[in-house]
Each structure stands twice: as structure tokens, then as C-alpha cells.
A and B are shown apart, each in its own frame.
Chain A
């Protein structure tokens, strides 16, 4: 099992550009989520999904879209990048539908918006 994979590892965007961060898991987990982590701060939940076709907003959803067309994939789209979105983005999955169990994290995407 590869676990949770994320691409790209690093990305630099200009203000206003859009892009998609990819996340995939091969553990057949129903629950997947996206977090951002800023220096000195904890992880903040952006969006989450409890199964294919179902997504919902977390704590900081503005400026981001998600979709869940398959169990395996959960891409995060930045609609119009802003410097405030400079952060490290982690994707996670959990075997429990509501995400109550252990979270398995991908290696992260380090995004800089200039």
C-alpha cells in the first residue's frame, strides 16, 4: 500500500492563478480531508468528505473547492490564489466514516503564492 499520496510536493503560484492539489489513498477509506498548516499553528480543516459524492466544509473553506468522484481521490482546487493561501497542505484519510479514528496523512504540499 502506498497509503496517502499527494502531488505536487512543492508549488509556487502567482496571485490570481488557479491550481489543483492532488490527493489519493489506496486503503479504501471513506473519510478524507484537507488541512492547512501555517507556521506556529495547528492544522485547520478546509474541507472533508465522508464518501464518494459527499463533501462538506470545514473551518476555513473560503477560496477552495473539492470534489469526491471516487473513493480513492480527493483533489483540492484553489480558485484564485492569494498570498494568504501560502501554507503547507495536508491530505488525510481515516477508516472510520466520520473520521473519528486514526488519521493517515500524506507528505504534504508546500505552496507559496507570490
Chain B
């Protein structure tokens, strides 16, 4: 089993739709979780951190489910500009700097 797994997509949804994707991780001791956004041929940029209590930033909601070992990203009222690849990042622990693990990404395409 991969340490971090994402559905590669592509997810192709109409503008205004709600879309959600998950990222599963295998190390139950993982401590920190993030979602990054990567546009075509560009560098990844932080979208949001994922806290145990869940967090929301405008149209974006991130949640953590420790029992089932996954994080999720929900995008409401999707815009054309949301088209990108979304990468999840899992960091096992505060002493494990070598194990920052990126998922392979989920491609999202928003159509007019």
C-alpha cells in the first residue's frame, strides 16, 4: 500500500458544482496534513492546512478523519479558476523531516 494515496481523477465538473476528494495515508502516527494546489507546469502552492477540528476557508473545507486515516477537501460553488491539480501532503512526525510525503495529485477540471 502506498503511504499516501489520491484518486488521480480527472474530476470533470460543471461550474457551480460541489466537488470533494480524499487522500488516504497509511502511517497512523502522521501529525501534519496540508492541501496544495498545482497549476499546469507551475510550482505547488499551499491551499490550506488541515486541522483535527477541520477548517474552512471561503469555498474550501478541509477535514481530517484520524480513525479512517484520510483527509478530505471539499470545494463548493466551483469556479473555472479552480481547475488545477490538488496535492495532499502528510508529515509523519516532528522528528521525521525526511518523510514529507506528497500524494500524486487529483486533477480537477471545471467546465463552463
Check if A and B associate: yes
Contacts of B34 in A (CB 8 A): 102
B97/A43 in contact, CB under 8 A: no
B96 to chain A, nearest CB (A): 8
A100 to B42, CA, bound (A): 22
A36 to B81, CA, bound (A): 26
Interface size grouping (class) on chain B: 20 to 34
B104/A41 in contact, CB under 8 A: yes
- Which stretch (B11-19, B43-51, B58-66, B71-79) binds chain A? B43-51
Q: Of A33, A56, A88, A97, which is within 8 A of B100 by CB? A: A33
A-B contact count (CB 8 A): 61
A-facing residues in B55-112 (Cβ within 8 Å): 87, 89, 91, 94-98, 100, 102-105
A88 to chain B, nearest CB (A): 8
B-facing residues in A21-73 (Cβ within 8 Å): 31, 33, 35, 40-45, 48, 50, 56-58
Contacts of A90 in B (CB 8 A): 43-44
Residue of chain A at shortest CB distance from B103: A42
Q: Is B28 interfacial (CB 8 A cutoff)?
A: no
Residues on B close to A: CB < 8 A?
4, 8, 31-32, 34, 36, 41-46, 49, 87, 89, 91, 94-98, 100, 102-105
The 9 closest A-B pairs by CB, nearest first: A105-B43, A42-B104, A98-B97, A43-B102, A42-B102, A99-B97, A102-B46, A100-B32, A100-B91
* Given A42-B87, A42-B102, A42-B105, 6 new contacts (CB under 8 A): A41-B104, A48-B97, A48-B98, A88-B41, A90-B44, A108-B41
